[in-house]
């Protein structure tokens, strides 16, 4: 079935490098979310897109993190000058109805980022 | 500050036992409470609760919300080894979902 897909599944990089993480949402889902999950923690909200625009980016930890969704479908999370503390599983989710009117968020398998 | 607190953080029981997982919250602009099961990477949706006192059931799983006391419980009866997972509680507020740290449940055969 055509669920949410994320690539790569694993990414190992060195401190200071730039990485891009990709999310392909379910076709037709207008809302797309990025979360970060560190070991022993629940997913932490990063950013939410409604269509092409970032409706809420208040969860991005600092200006090294940036995300785009230029055509309202695929999204890329970009991390500059990676730090060891960025190591985590980055989860993407999509849903049909955006914002406060909840509809089920379908999660992708995540990208495990390891910064050495 | 918004928070979602789950307890216990981990739980080990024998197959066939009944477990109760707890979730308390302090969140502004509460809209709904959600339960997810996370086995490997992707959380999968279990329940959404919006009204107090109305139990949601799915097979051996059930959940209820108390909006006055700001908590929810997730019950699993006749546990099976396949129930071993992290169970995440989350609260939907505005356009964000705030997750708790999860309860790691391990079912011994």
The reported pLDDT for the residue numbered B29 is: 85
Structure tokens at A47: 């950013």
CB-CB contact of A79 with A88 (8 Å): no
> How many Å lie between the alpha carbon of A38 and the closest alpha carbon of chain B?
10
pLDDT in tens, B35-77: 999 998 789 999 999 989 999 999 999 999 999 999 999 999 9
List C-alpha distances in Å: A54 to A10, A19, B59: 25, 20, 38
The reported pLDDT for the residue numbered B102 is: 96
CB-CB contact of A79 with A19 (8 Å): yes
pLDDT above 70 covers a percentage of chain B that reads 99
Asked if residue B95 has pLDDT above 70, the reply is no
Buried b (16+ CB within 10 A) or exposed e, B60-80: ebebbbeeeeebbbbebeebe
| Each residue's pLDDT expressed in tens, for chain A with a length of 116 residues | 579 999 999 999 999 999 999 999 999 899 999 999 998 889 999 999 988 989 889 899 999 999 999 999 999 999 999 999 999 999 999 988 755 556 678 899 999 999 99
Interface contact flag, B95 A105, Cβ < 8 Å? no
The answer to whether A33 faces chain B, any CB pair under 8 Å, is yes
Asked if residue B83 has pLDDT above 90, the reply is yes
Among A42, A89, A102, select the one facing B32 at the smallest CB separation: A102
Structure tokens at A116: 């050495």
The answer to whether B45 faces chain A, any CB pair under 8 Å, is yes
- Secondary structure (DSSP) of A5-68: EEE-SEEEE-TT--EEEEEEPPTT--EEEEEEE-TTS--EEEEEEETTEEEE-TT--STTEEEE
The reported pLDDT for the residue numbered B9 is: 95
Interface contact flag, A102 B102, Cβ < 8 Å? no
Interface contact flag, B95 A56, Cβ < 8 Å? yes
Q: CA B49: distance to chain centroid?
A: 10
Average pLDDT, chain B: 93
């Amino acid at each position: 079935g055509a669920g949410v897909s994320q690539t790569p599944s694993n990414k190992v990089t060195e401190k200071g490098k730039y990485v891009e993480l990709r999310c392909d949402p379910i076709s037709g889902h207008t809302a797309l979310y990025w979360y970060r999950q560190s070991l022993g923690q629940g997913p932490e909200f990063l950013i939410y897109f409604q269509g092409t625009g970032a409706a809420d980016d208040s969860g991005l930890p600092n200006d090294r993190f940036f995300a785009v969704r230029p055509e309202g479908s695929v999204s890329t999370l970009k991390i500059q000058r990676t730090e060891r503390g960025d190591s985590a599983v980055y989860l993407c989710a999509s849903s049909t109805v955006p914002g406060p009117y909840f509809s089920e968020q379908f999660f992708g398998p995540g990208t495990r980022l390891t910064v050495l | 500050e918004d928070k979602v607190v789950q307890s216990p953080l981990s739980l080990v029981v024998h197959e066939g036992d009944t477990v109760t997982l707890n979730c308390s919250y302090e969140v502004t602009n509460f809209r709904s409470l959600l339960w997810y099961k996370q086995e490997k990477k992707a959380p999968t949706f279990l329940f959404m609760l919006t009204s107090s006192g109305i139990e949601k059931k799915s097979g051996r799983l059930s959940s209820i919300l108390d909006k006055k006391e700001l908590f929810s419980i997730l019950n699993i009866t006749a546990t099976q080894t396949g129930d071993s997972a992290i169970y995440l509680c989350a609260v939907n507020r505005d356009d964000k979902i705030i997750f708790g740290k999860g309860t790691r449940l391990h079912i011994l055969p």
